[in-house]
């Protein structure tokens, strides 16, 4: 078996991506700085967007699907009166309007965008259609039919009116929401057109902008030291998932792929609390001596390994 090159570094880097680099370039930067063998990220940010880009190293990549489902918070600016082909400043202008909504009109409209709503993703997006990326088809001049889908909007507030042409918002979304599409649809609902002119992601689950690490993407990688000091534990992405405490022997059994019976008094009490919360039958985090051991499925007083973390003990 061919061995993977790189260092066995496990954990998360909460990166504050600047405007300019792509998410792929940000990952490459962190890879060169850390020398990690495996790396991935949770939630792409466009080059024109800044903010929280959680980057997983090593065994933390196994928890990426859980953070992808986490709520996200964005601060963004809408430019009224001009629609673009991409729904942001990168596209070409394709429609215009002289209508500029007032703060009162905007505030009255926002409740219509709360809760579960239908949203049609932008044509210039990474969604696949018949095996092709939508943005590749759109750039090639092909007809792109985007299918509406349901998304969740948990909070939507008007933050400021910079001038008659621009308004700043903060929104908390669930999985799969496009802020560009939200800006576009809000403008249409207000009787005008508009596009996204600025975007910053403030949070992805437990990862927050105020705690994120900024990197100088113009400096040589060798000139930036200490990134590994900001490494967060694997379980950072699993903050809202119940934790099951195991002994060292139980942890060894899980790591070898065996199930663990939860029959001791502490385990029975834990199971009772889990059932009271309606979480029985779900996925929980197994830990031993405060270290992540595995994601496990609880079934009939047994913990069955789903994803084992092969970290050094």
Give me the active site residues, please.
46
Q: In this structure, how many other beta carbons lie within 10 angstroms of the beta carbon of residue 188?
A: 14
Ranges of beta strands (E only) in the chain are: 11-17, 39-41, 49-57, 72-80, 82-84, 93-96, 115-119, 128-129, 132-133, 149-163, 166-173, 194-204, 207-208, 213-214, 243-245, 260-261, 283-288, 291-298, 302-308
Which two structure tokens, joined as six digits, stand for 165?
A: 């042409």
Based on C-alpha coordinates, what's the Rg of the chain? 23
As a whole number of angstroms, the distance between CA 160 and CA 145 comes to 34
Burial of 296 (0-12, 13-18, 19+ CB in 10 A): buried
The residues, any chain, with a CB within 8 Å of residue 273's CB and separated by 6 or more, are: none
Name 267's Cβ contacts closer than 8 Å, sequence gap at least 6: 244, 301
> How far is it, in rounded angstroms, from Cα 87 to Cα 295?
39
Q: Tell how strand 260-261 and strand 302-308 pair up.
A: antiparallel
Q: Is the dihedral of CA 81, 82, 86, 88 positive or negative?
A: negative
Instruction: Read off the DSSP letter of residue 230.
Output: G
Please state whether beta strands 149-163 and 115-119 pair in parallel, antiparallel, or not at all (unpaired). antiparallel
């Amino acid at each position: 078996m061919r061995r993977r090159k790189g260092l066995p570094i496990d954990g998360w880097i909460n990166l504050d991506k600047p405007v300019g680099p792509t998410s792929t370039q940000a990952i490459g930067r962190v890879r060169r700085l850390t020398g990690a063998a495996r790396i991935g990220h949770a939630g792409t940010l466009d080059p024109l967007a800044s903010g929280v880009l959680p980057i997983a190293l090593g065994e933390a990549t196994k928890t990426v699907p859980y953070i992808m489902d986490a709520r996200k918070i964005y601060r963004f600016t809408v430019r009224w009166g001009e629609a673009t082909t991409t729904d942001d400043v990168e596209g070409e202008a394709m429609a215009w309007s002289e209508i500029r909504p007032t703060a009162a009109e905007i505030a009255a409209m926002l409740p219509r965008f709360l809760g579960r709503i239908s949203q049609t993703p932008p044509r210039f997006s990474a969604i696949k259609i018949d095996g092709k990326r939508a943005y590749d088809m759109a750039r090639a001049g092909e007809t792109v039919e985007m299918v509406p889908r349901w998304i969740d909007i948990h909070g939507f507030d008007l933050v400021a009116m910079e001038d008659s042409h621009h308004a700043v918002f903060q929104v908390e979304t669930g999985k799969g929401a496009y802020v560009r599409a939200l800006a576009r649809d809000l403008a249409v609902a207000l009787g005008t057109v508009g596009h996204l002119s600025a975007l910053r992601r403030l949070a992805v689950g437990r990862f927050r902008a105020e705690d994120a690490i900024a990197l100088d993407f113009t400096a040589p990688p060798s000139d930036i030291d200490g990134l590994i000091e900001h490494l967060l534990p694997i379980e950072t992405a699993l903050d809202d998932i119940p934790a099951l405490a195991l002994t060292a022997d139980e942890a060894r059994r899980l790591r070898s792929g065996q199930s663990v019976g939860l029959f001791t008094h502490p385990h029975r009490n834990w199971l009772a609390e889990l059932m009271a919360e309606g979480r029985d039958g779900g996925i929980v985090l197994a830990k031993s001596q405060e270290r992540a051991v595995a994601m496990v499925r609880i079934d009939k007083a047994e913990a069955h390994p789903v994803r084992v973390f092969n970290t050094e003990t």
